[in-house]
Amino acid sequence: NCWLSVSLWCLVGGLNGRFVTRNSRPNIVLLMADGLGVGDLCCYGKDAAPSPDGGGPALPPTSLLLQAEQPRSQVASPPEQQRWPQGSTPNIDHLASEGVRLTQHLAAASVCTLSRAAFLTGRYPIRSGMASSFNPNRALVWLGGSGGLPTNETTFAKLLQHRGYRTGLIGMARGTLNVNTLMFMLRGYQVIFLPGKWHQGLSCASRNDHCFHPLNHGFDYFYGLPFGLFSDCQPSKTPELHRWLRIKLWISTAVLGLVPVLLLIPKCARWFSVPWKVILVFALLALFFVSWYSSYGFTRHWNCILMRNHEIVQQPMRGERVASLMLKEVLAFIDRYKREPFLLFVSFLHVHTPLITKKKFIGHSKYGLYGDNVEEMDWMVGKILEALDRELLANRTLVYFTSDHGGCLEAQDGGAQLGGWNGIYKGGRGMGGWEGGIRVLGIFRWPTVLEAGKVIDEPTSLMDIYPTLSYVGGGILPQDRVIDSRNLMPLLEGKVSHSDHEFLFHYCGVYLHAARWHQKDCATVWKVHYVTPKFSPEGAGACYGSGICSCTGDVTYHDPPLLFDISRDPSESQPLNPDNEALFGSVVQKIEAAIKDHRRTLTPVPEQLSVFNTIWKPWLQPCCETFPFCGCDKEDDILSTA
């Protein structure tokens, strides 16, 4: 019997790479998309599809609904040519079928910098100062700014580095300290971050101090974009950064430039006297506006750069090479460290504009460039999973797939939709507390530990990855600060049936727009909105006029607040009131009491996204040559094809 047991153990170990127990430390692979809509994947089609009675928001003309799980006769679906085929995302769908799928997975903010800061630290971004009170500065917009994730914040990388882990981050970053910094090396683990967004700041006082750099947040190695991806990174694309501000700057520059000229006419003609000081003041103002406006012309060279540790290796970065480089680095890493535990964080540039896509995928989808970009990302996910299978690592690897926030509805080029679709959920990226901007994908796979095909409809947060990975990797959570996240493993393993989150708060910058109460005694989820953005044009479902919705100013304040029963009305289409909901008063009172308790835990911190911290500063601008003549390409071994 003993010999038989040993033989069976060896057989199982040989077939699966290693015998796995819950107490063994797994490899960890984190996959994060950039702005992927919850309605863009087949595996979420049923949850994101309109109800049989046609409830939920109307489908946009270029909607990308993937309804593989729900019979066509049961849903109000768009025409056939507007639907995804079932095989558009086969690799991510397969991942979901083999793991646990979270259907009420929520980002801490509906924009990237804030969401990723929370993901990295397990805390609401307002606690670290990574939230703004100024509408145009909702995220970091210049590498030459002085804001970023404070070094006193404990990231996952730093947390587990203190446990003897070696840490590395390879990838594209967007801004300063990004969610991607979550990479860590679990005690003897190799940790890598692959191309994606950092977006959490770079320098504080001088060009090369790199105080917010990943290497100062617990990483031993970094390769990628310290900022991220904008349409400005592609010369042929419509500028994205501060598009409307640029127009205003151009008008102001033209007006101020004319004033000194007009004042010189009467002075030279001796019609009346104009003091030279007045002319000089207007001339200096015009010069200031010209300098400010012209700085946007250098966005590609100043923001779109590729770094290895502290060295700039490509300025501007060559976008067409990113996907090939990313996949090459991922596969090489898995091959190199397949015999020891590792953490691999892959932060995709997909599916953020300008939707940089390899030629082999252009025209591959029936749904334009956005569809091509989604399918390329799915192909890359497949290659990563295939490598895990090939090296017999799948059974001892925890894989997590998500997005930093919902799809961007305003991203359009003529009649083509360049952003994701959020299914039945109202709103999208940058829209405060509306569900479409914060409800994201959440897929966990860990064979032999997590049940395949399980679906959990409990409120969970992107922040929860912080204590979850700490628990899995044997880390110790900081005791000197408030941690807003919860360990998901008991819920994922089925040891508990309810999420530990009773209340979740939904901010837009520093402003609390909405809050959610998970009433555990009856599993009802209530949600209140105190502030909602005004869509433009009137009657639209997004802020097409401005490109992104405001957190303050152009908003609607609700007193009493809007109340929804998310468990029955996830599309937030049927607001409740005292006439149709007997519990209206008590529910609102309960949530308001929770908000007061939450606010008592907040402490004043420097605002990292203030106007001063986010404006461009020449002395902080990274440059691989002599500023302002910045340009180099030291990366001559990038794979040309993958």
**CB burial class (10 A; 0-12, 13-18, 19+) of residue 405?**
buried
Q: Hey, what are 439's tokens?
A: 């409800």
Q: What are phi and psi of 254, to 5 degrees?
A: -65, -45
Q: Hey, what are 420's tokens?
A: 């994701």
Run of H or E residues at 153: none
**CB burial class (10 A; 0-12, 13-18, 19+) of residue 134?**
middle
| Calpha distance 428→436 (Å, rounded) | 4
| Calpha distance 137→323 (Å, rounded) | 29
Contact yes or no for 315/623 (Cβ under 8 A)? yes
Give me the catalytic one of 42, 43, 105, 199.
Answer: 199
Give me the catalytic one of 112, 211, 549, 623.
Answer: 112
Q: Hey, what are 366's tokens?
A: 């029936």
Quick check: is 304 catalytic? no
> Where in 238-375 does DSSP place strands (E)?
306-308, 311-315, 342-347
Q: Is the sign of the CA dihedral 117, 122, 123, 129 positive or negative?
A: negative
Other residues' Cβ atoms within 10 Å of the Cβ of residue 640: 8
Contact yes or no for 133/599 (Cβ under 8 A)? no
Q: Within 13 Å, how many C-alpha atoms sit on residue 114's CB side?
A: 31
Contact yes or no for 243/547 (Cβ under 8 A)? yes
> Where in 214-348 does DSSP place strands (E)?
222-224, 306-308, 311-315, 342-347
Angle in degrees, CA 477, 455, 106, rounded to 5: 50
Q: Is the sign of the CA dihedral 35, 420, 515, 512 positive or negative?
A: positive
Q: Within 13 Å, how many C-alpha atoms sit on residue 241's CB side?
A: 27
Closest Cα partner for 325 from 3, 636, 629, 9? Answer: 636
In sequence order, which residues have a C-beta less than 8 Å from that of residue 596 and are 6 or more positions away? none
Amino acid making up residue 275: P
Q: Hey, what are 256's tokens?
A: 């101020």
Query: Pairing state of beta strands 460-461 and 100-106?
Result: parallel
In sequence order, which residues have a C-beta less than 8 Å from that of residue 615 and are 6 or more positions away? 142, 145
Quick check: is 522 catalytic? no
Query: Pairing state of beta strands 342-347 and 27-33?
Result: parallel
Task: State the catalytic residues.
Answer: 112, 199
